[in-house]
Every structure is written in C-alpha cells, then in structure tokens.
Amino acid sequence: MVARLSDRNPVVSPEQLIEEMVPPSTFDSVSFDSYIPDPNEPSQAEAVARARDFVERAKKSRSGKKGLFSRKQTSQGVGLYLDGGFGVGKTHLLASIYHAMPAPKSFATFVELTHLVGALGFMNAVERLSEQNVLCIDEFELDDPGDTMIVSRLLTELTAKGVSIAATSNTLPGQLGEGRFAAQDFLREIKKLSAIFETIRVDGPDYRHRDLPPAPEPRSSEDVAALAEATEGATFDDFDELCAHLAKLHPSKYKELVDGVSLVCISGVHPAKDQSVALRIVVLADRLYDANIPVTVSGAKLDEIFTDEMLAGGYRKKYLRATSRLLALSRFAESAV
C-alpha cells in the first residue's frame, strides 16, 4: 500500500529544529570564490567584497572586547542586508557567509524563522539562537504586523547579545511591508529593523517580470495512483485530505513531513479555497523544493492553485515563488519517468 503524507505526524524536538537550520543541500558547496560576478554588473563584485568584510566584522564582534578589568564584554552583532531581484545570486552569497563563519551558526528562510519562534516560544527561541555566531535569513518578507514585531524584537535582542545577522530580500528594509499596512506601530518596527542592517544592492537581470513557463498537463487520477504504486518511497494523497492534514501540523514540522519521500503524488488538485490553505501550500512547496522532491498531480494545473484574487493581494510574491517551484518540481517528475 502506498504511503500518504496525510498519515504522517512527525514529532520534532527543539534541538532538531535548531540543528536543521542549515542552507538547502543545493548550496552545500558554494563559497565566495565560486560566485562569478557579472562584469556588466559591478554591484555584484562589490557585494562579494562586502559579504567577505561582513564575515570578518562578525567574527571580531563575536570574539568580544576587553572591559575595564580585562573581562570580555559582549559586542553588538553586525548586520548585512543583500537586496536585489531574483537570479542575481543573493542566496549563494548568504550561504557563503554561513559556510565562512565558525559554528554555531544558523540559516533559515524568514518563514522558517517565524515558525521556529511559534514552535519554541519567543524567550526560548532567543535563548537558543543567542548562542549562534551568525543568523542567516533568506527571503526576508513581512506580510503582517504580528510577524514584523516578533522578528524586530527577536533581532534586536539577538544583536544585543552579539549575534550577527545577514539577510536577503527583494525589498529594502525601510520598505518592507510597504503598501500593505499603515499602522504606526508597524511603521515604527520597520524603522527598528532598518537600523540593524547595512544594505548592499545586488543588481542584475530581474526575473520577477518574466512569464512563468507553462505548467505540465495534469495526469489522470489513475495514472498518478499507478505511478505512486510503481515508485519506491512515493506518497499518494488526495488534495483536500492533504490540505486538511497540513492544517493540523505546525509548519515547523513540514520539513520532517516530507523527509525521505522520493516522489509526491496528489490527486484532485483545485484552486485553494482560502488564504490560510494557500499559505500552507506555500510552506509545503518551499520544503519540497529545498529537498528537491518531484511532484505530479491530477486535477487542475499547478499554476491554478492560487487564484487571480490571491495573486493580486499582499502575498503575491509568495504565491508566484511557490508556483514557480511547484512547476519546476513537476517538470522534474516528468523527466524522471
């Protein structure tokens, strides 16, 4: 009988959550030396130099300084923010920073970081992350005031304890959340976040405006079931049942949910019924993409999961990223069979 993701109920310890805060496997061997700047984009070579400099400053910051009676005092952590469009190598540079720093160190997407705080509780997260020399945050995004205030408090406390912060995004720190929320409390938190970082622009071709390539045609439900049956390590789920199961799991467990899976097969795919379902699919898509797990479906095409109304809202960037990643994984599935 084919396994189902809907039957999995992973248990993840706090220690495991911290240990799993590492770059995706595709960035295991990257370095500053392997980043090839575009000669037509001088900001890329400058970004490499500034990232190297950040590592040296972060190391010195963490080593502390001598106080009045020769006792080491904790120095303020330093911050670096890499801003630029898609496809310019920001994650490559962020992972290079991670690899160049001594342990302990952590790497997570912004969403994974907020999920970690939710799973551990704020003070526990501060206590555990304050031991790190550097915290690397990929795809920094602020989609609601609650997340903004949590992350602002978290980074403020961590930098005060000597943790250095490196982050990437497609939006400058002072513009995070722009056009979404006008509350004064929110704007005040944005300014705090902006003050933490030294911002470096990484220019280059911006792939955000390219049309997404067409999605593969869905298979029949019978074909999806047969493929799951014939593939060792595959899972086979009904779309609605899987979405209902995701609602019962904390998103911090999604990585463990797909651990060891060779192929994800889903029948009956259709547009997400509401934003909460859509956002859970985004997180699942990110975890599948990080693990390079192919996906094949029946029902609607994968580029139809997020409705036009959703794509016109504040989570547009998330939905486009998830769609692009799901399409890539579905093409991987097509080429693998």
* Helix axis angle, 110-120 to 275-290, nearest 10°: 110
pLDDT reported for residue 196: 81
Query: Both 54 and 193 in a single domain?
Result: yes
pLDDT, mean over the chain: 86
Query: Both 241 and 98 in a single domain?
Result: no
- Whole domain around residue 241: which residue ranges? 5-9+211-336
Query: Both 188 and 265 in a single domain?
Result: no
Q: Quick: pLDDT tens for 70-99.
A: 555 668 899 998 887 767 889 999 999 999
- pLDDT of 25 above 50: yes
Contacts of 69 (CB under 8 A, 6+ apart): none
Contacts of 220 (CB under 8 A, 6+ apart): 298
Q: Quick: pLDDT tens for 211-238.
A: 555 778 899 999 999 999 999 999 999 9
Pairwise pLDDT comparison (190 vs 156), residue with the higher score: 156
Query: Both 197 and 272 in a single domain?
Result: no
* Closest to 64 (Cα-Cα) out of 150, 113, 133, 156: 133
Query: Both 200 and 220 in a single domain?
Result: no
Q: What is the mean pLDDT of residues 25-42?
A: 92
- pLDDT of 32 above 80: yes
| Position 149 in a domain | yes
Cα–Cα dist 97/32, whole Å: 8
Collapse the DSSP code of 316 into the 3-class scheme (helix H, G, I; strand E, B; otherwise coil) and give the result: helix
Pairwise pLDDT comparison (180 vs 52), residue with the higher score: 52
Q: How confident is the model at residue 181 (pLDDT cuts 50, 70, 90)?
A: very low
pLDDT reported for residue 124: 96
pLDDT reported for residue 174: 53
pLDDT reported for residue 139: 84
The whole model's pTM is what? 0.78
| Position 24 in a domain | no
* Helix axis angle, 145-160 to 184-196, nearest 10°: 30
Q: Which of these three, 144, 172, 207, is where a domain ends?
A: 207
CATH number of the domain residue 215 falls in: 3.40.50
Share of the chain above pLDDT 70, in %: 85
Query: Both 67 and 150 in a single domain?
Result: yes
CA 133 from centroid of its chain's CA atoms: 20
Q: Which residues of 200-214 are buried (b: 16+ CB within 10 A; e: fewer)?
A: bebbbeeeeeeeeee
Pairwise pLDDT comparison (145 vs 239), residue with the higher score: 239
Residue 61 CB neighbour total at 10 angstroms: 20
| Position 52 in a domain | yes
Cα–Cα dist 269/271, whole Å: 7
Q: What is the mean pLDDT of residues 115-127?
A: 94
Q: Which of these three, 176, 207, 238, is where a domain ends?
A: 207
> How many domains does the chain divide into?
2
Contacts of 128 (CB under 8 A, 6+ apart): 14, 18, 120
- pLDDT of 186 above 70: no
- pLDDT of 296 above 90: yes
Contacts of 290 (CB under 8 A, 6+ apart): 24, 25, 255
Report residue 286 as tokens.
Answer: 């990110």
Q: What is the mean pLDDT of residues 280-287?
A: 95
Query: Both 128 and 81 in a single domain?
Result: yes
Share of the chain above pLDDT 90, in %: 60
pLDDT reported for residue 210: 45
219 secondary structure, DSSP code = B
Does residue 104 have a cis bond before it (omega within 30 degrees)?
Answer: yes
Q: What is the mean pLDDT of residues 149-154?
A: 86
Q: What is the mean pLDDT of residues 172-180?
A: 48
| Position 230 in a domain | yes
CATH number of the domain residue 37 falls in: 3.40.50.300
Cα–Cα dist 23/34, whole Å: 16
CA distances from 257 to 1, 130, 135, 246, 307 (A): 18, 27, 24, 10, 26
Query: Both 76 and 163 in a single domain?
Result: yes
Q: Which of these three, 207, 231, 256, is where a domain ends?
A: 207
Pairing state between β 164-169 and 263-269: unpaired
| Position 171 in a domain | yes
Query: Both 215 and 185 in a single domain?
Result: no
CB 333 within 8 A of CB 294: yes
| Position 304 in a domain | yes
Query: Both 102 and 227 in a single domain?
Result: no
Query: Both 215 and 188 in a single domain?
Result: no
Cα–Cα dist 193/196, whole Å: 5
| Position 26 in a domain | no
Query: Both 55 and 77 in a single domain?
Result: yes
Q: Quick: pLDDT tens for 300-336.
A: 999 999 999 999 887 887 888 899 889 989 988 887 6
